[in-house]
Amino acid sequence: MKKTLGAKDILFPIPIALVVSGNGDNANIISIAWIGITGSNPPSIGISLKKNRYSLDLIRQTGEFTINIPSTNDMVKTDYCGLVSGKNVNKFDETNFTALKSHKVKTPIIKECPYNIECKVIKEVEIGDWVLVIGEIVETHVDEDKIENNKISIEKVNPLVYVPTIREYWSIGKLLGKSFNVGKKMINK
């Protein structure tokens, strides 16, 4: 038997990202759970923001944003950035997050986040009270010490994971297998 749960906030687990908008003294941070890859060529990613978000104004002003994946160590700061608005506080000052220069956009990345993505806006889609902002990914960064045997160590990145259905933060589990690979044994049997 299955129990119906309704249609709200139902997909899980998903990443939780810190999205930076603006630049210089105006740089702002917002916590974003509505995020996902939208295509591979060009590489693109979508973030959905409620229309009244200060971050949306800043993204529209500059046409760019950065996505920063926090580790579990920064859970409290990540939640904080989702509780207060950059209209009222400077979230870089309050969190002590460090704004690092990006390579291809003026909006900074967050040094303390192990994985960072630079984006230039290519499209906006209105969905009710929300705006899906799609950005072309123009650069990505990972901390050097999170690379092991020439690949990103997910254990070291230790990304914060979100379960919106029950409003909980989790950590990632253990490696189970390689994609585009483990299923092959069902083709070749």
Residues of the shown chain interacting with ligand FMN in the complex, contacts defined by CB under 6 A? 16, 28, 30-34, 48-50, 53-55, 79, 82-87, 162
d(CA 29, CA 58): 10
Residue number with CB closer to ligand FMN (127 or 147): 127
- Give residue for tokens 């920063």: 68
The amino acid that residue 159 corresponds to is: P
Radius of gyration of the chain (CA): 17
Residue number with CB closer to ligand FMN (44 or 85): 85
Report whether 77 contacts 70 (CB < 8 A).
yes
Which position's Cβ is nearest ligand FMN?
Answer: 82
Least spacing, CB of residue 2 vs ligand FMN, in Å: 27
Least spacing, CB of residue 164 vs ligand FMN, in Å: 7
The amino acid that residue 53 corresponds to is: R
Residue number with CB closer to ligand FMN (28 or 102): 28
d(CA 143, CA 183): 31
Residue number with CB closer to ligand FMN (87 or 101): 87
Count CA atoms within 13 Å of residue 81 on its CB side: 28
21-36: b or e for each residue (b if 16 or more CB lie within 10 Å)? Answer: bbbeeebbbbbbbbbe
Least spacing, CB of residue 91 vs ligand FMN, in Å: 7
Least spacing, CB of residue 175 vs ligand FMN, in Å: 26
Least spacing, CB of residue 85 vs ligand FMN, in Å: 3
Residue number with CB closer to ligand FMN (83 or 175): 83
